[in-house]
Structure 1
């Protein structure tokens, strides 16, 4: 998958300026494809040049003019081709998991602190996803919306983002609790500082 496909899919909801697209990515699309605003602006320019999106200038009296983009017929054809292609398996690449993997030989304190920070960040995103899903349903029951709602794609991807953040929060909290308990019980390594444990391990003691 390329960034262009995520941009084209996001533009299916209507016309977006570069700023509006960046906001849409930050709230919803970022749960499955991360991109910086400057990357999105550059991608929009490329897509317009290739005819996959069309843009129009909007004149504003009190603010700078803005350019709005929508998917073209060629862009829809590009998405059709992308949807038919086989999807690659997903995988995790997370520096925090590397730190947890090494926690038996290094100090657990910083790892516990980072796990708690991640859990708090996930909790905040859970709230954002919950609010976004409620806005999409517009008062409808979720099961009813899933059966008969309008555009269902963004709702389903937000459900996946919510489930991911809930799982990540729960794992971080559980892992931090386990490491704290092992610290209290003196089970963490040899009970020495991280540097001392590493030195002993290298010496084979």
Structure 2
């Protein structure tokens, strides 16, 4: 999947500045795609040059002018074409921490343990952000009410996947820490 597809997905929410899109990537799209602000701005320029998005300048007092981006007809057509493509294979895990865990018996177990503990903290923090986003999306409705009546359900469905991913990161991390702690206790005992 190209970054442009994730950008177009984010722009389905409406007109946004590059800054707004970067925040959206961090808050919601990050549960399935990541990009640095630099990558995002380069892609916005390319997409504008290709006619997939339009940019309008908003003048601001005491601040630099900002550009607001929106999908063009060609952009909506590109979203439709992208979703019509045959789905690719499921993504594979590429995680440096897991390589370190694989070698924990021959490596620095304390450093690996610290890496796992940090991953658990990150996952809990992301899960808390996702839960706040979920509450905003539901806006007092039940999940069933939201799914039955929301104009767009894609953001909620991807949010659920991101939440499940982070819950699993916490579950696995806590298990891995328990196993490493028990092995360390046996080695010292």
Partner of 1:51: 51
How many equivalent residue pairs? 188
Q: In terms of Rg, which structure is larger?
A: 1
On the 8 A contact 1:133/1:155 being kept in 2, the answer is: yes
**Within 5 Å, which residues of 2 pair with 1:1-205?**
1-88=1-88, 89-186=90-187
- Cα distance in structure 2, aligned partners of 1:103 and 1:42: 39
| 1:8-67 deviation per Cα after TM superposition (whole angstroms, max 9, x unaligned) | 110011110111010000111111111000111111111111100011111112322111
Contact conserved, 1:137 with 1:149, CA < 8 A, in 2?
A: no
Shift in Å, 1:168 = 0.6
Match of 1:41, SS? helix
> Structure 1 residue 106: deviation in Å?
2.1
Q: Deviations 1:46-94 (Å, cap 9, x if unpaired)? A: 1111100011111112322111010011011111111111222211000
* Structure 1 residue runs of 4 or more that deviate by more than 4 Å after TM superposition: none
Q: Distance in 1 between matches of 2:18 and 2:41?
A: 6
Shift, 1:150, TM fit: 2.5
RMSD, matched Cα: 1.4
Residues in 1 aligned to 2:102 and 2:74: alpha-carbon distance in whole angstroms: 47
TM-score, length basis structure 2: 0.95
Q: Does structure 2 conserve the Cα–Cα contact (< 8 Å) formed by 1:55 and 1:69?
A: yes
Residues of 2 paired with 1:57 and 1:133: CA distance?
32
Give the unaligned 5+ runs of structure 1. 192-205
TM-score of the superposed pair, with normalisation by structure 1? 0.88
**Unaligned stretches of 5+ residues in structure 2:** none
CA distance in 1, matches of 2:152, 2:85: 22
